Amino acid sequence: MPNMLEFTAAEAAFVLREPIKAVRKAMDEGPVQARLITKGGGPVRAIAWRDLVYLHAVRTLREELTPKGRTEFYLALKRSPAEGTREVRFGRLSVTMDAFEAEVEARAQELSALADKVEFRADGEPLLKGTAIEVHRIAALLAGGLSAEEIRDDYPSVTPEMVGIAKAYADVHPKPGRPYPRTT
More confident residue, 106 or 39: 106
Tell me the pTM.
0.80
Same-domain status, 133 and 143: yes
Q: What is the pLDDT of residues 26-72, one digit of tens each?
A: 999 888 889 998 877 788 899 999 999 999 999 988 888 888 888 89
- pLDDT of amino acid 63: 87
What's the domain range around 46?
6-115
Reported as a pLDDT band with limits 50, 70 and 90, residue 134 is very high
Q: How far apart are CA 58 and CA 64, in angstroms?
A: 9
Domain CATH number, residue 70: 1.10.1660
Same-domain status, 80 and 133: no
Residue 183 inside a domain? The answer is no
Region 86-92: what's the mean pLDDT? Answer: 83
Same-domain status, 111 and 121: no
Domain CATH number, residue 158: 1.10.10.10
Helices (H), 81-159: 98-116, 135-143, 148-154
CA distances from 157 to 38, 48, 149, 152, 161 (A): 35, 38, 12, 7, 11
Domain count, the chain: 2
Same-domain status, 48 and 95: yes
Single residue among 70, 93, 115 that ends a domain in this structure: 115
% of residues, the chain, pLDDT over 70: 93
